[in-house]
Structure 1
Amino acid sequence: MKRRRVKIRNKLGLHARPAAEFVRAARAYESRILILRGGQEFSATSILDVLTACVNCGAVLTLAADGPDADEALEGLVGLLQTISDREEE
């Protein structure tokens, strides 16, 4: 399973709207994608799991992916989290 760490910079964290956007993006990949935080695993393709992870501003989490497009998924999702942060600050 490949992993990437990411720090959430969005002032409001990964709240409902950005969480839904993140989940939609994660569902576009074939790989199994997880959010690892605080010793727990959350499915990146489940809005309930993403919201339950309580990803606040400044949180450092690990995205993990296993499958044929794992590298692409991790790069895309980390990039999306950066884009969400930039858009939210405008």
Structure 2
Amino acid sequence: MKIIEYTFKNEMALHARPTTILISEANKFKSDIIIEKDNMTINAKSLISVLSLLIEKGDTIKIKIDGPDEDKAADAIKEILKNIEE
């Protein structure tokens, strides 16, 4: 299992466009990918679920990736998170 912890520094945080990119990338992998925020756990492959977290600047999320391609999935998600902040 891979775990990524990430704190959003950008004012836009995880709004609709980067959320769509994140979900699209997550769906490329067989691994289970979940996001945790404030005691909520959701499927990172679901747009409605991710948007329901209402992620804002300063929020920290934990992404857990478990499965046969977890290394590649973790690398891809880290890259997306990095690009969100640019």
TM-score norm. by structure 2 comes to 0.91
Determine if contact 1:11/1:85 at 8 Å carries over to the other structure. Answer: no
What secondary structure, in the 3-state scheme, does the structure 2 residue paired with 1:75 have? helix
After superposition, where does 1:24-35 map in structure 2 within 5 Å?
24-35=24-35
Asked if 1:50 is matched to 2:50, the reply is yes
Determine if contact 1:8/1:57 at 8 Å carries over to the other structure. Answer: yes
Structure 1 residue 22: Cα displacement: 0.8
Amino acid across the alignment from 1:23: I
Q: Which runs of 5+ in 2 are unaligned?
A: none
Identity in percent: 29
Matched with 2:4 is: 4
TM-score norm. by structure 1 comes to 0.88
Q: Which runs of 5+ in 1 are unaligned?
A: none
CA RMSD of aligned residues (A): 1.1
4+ long deviations beyond 2 Å: none
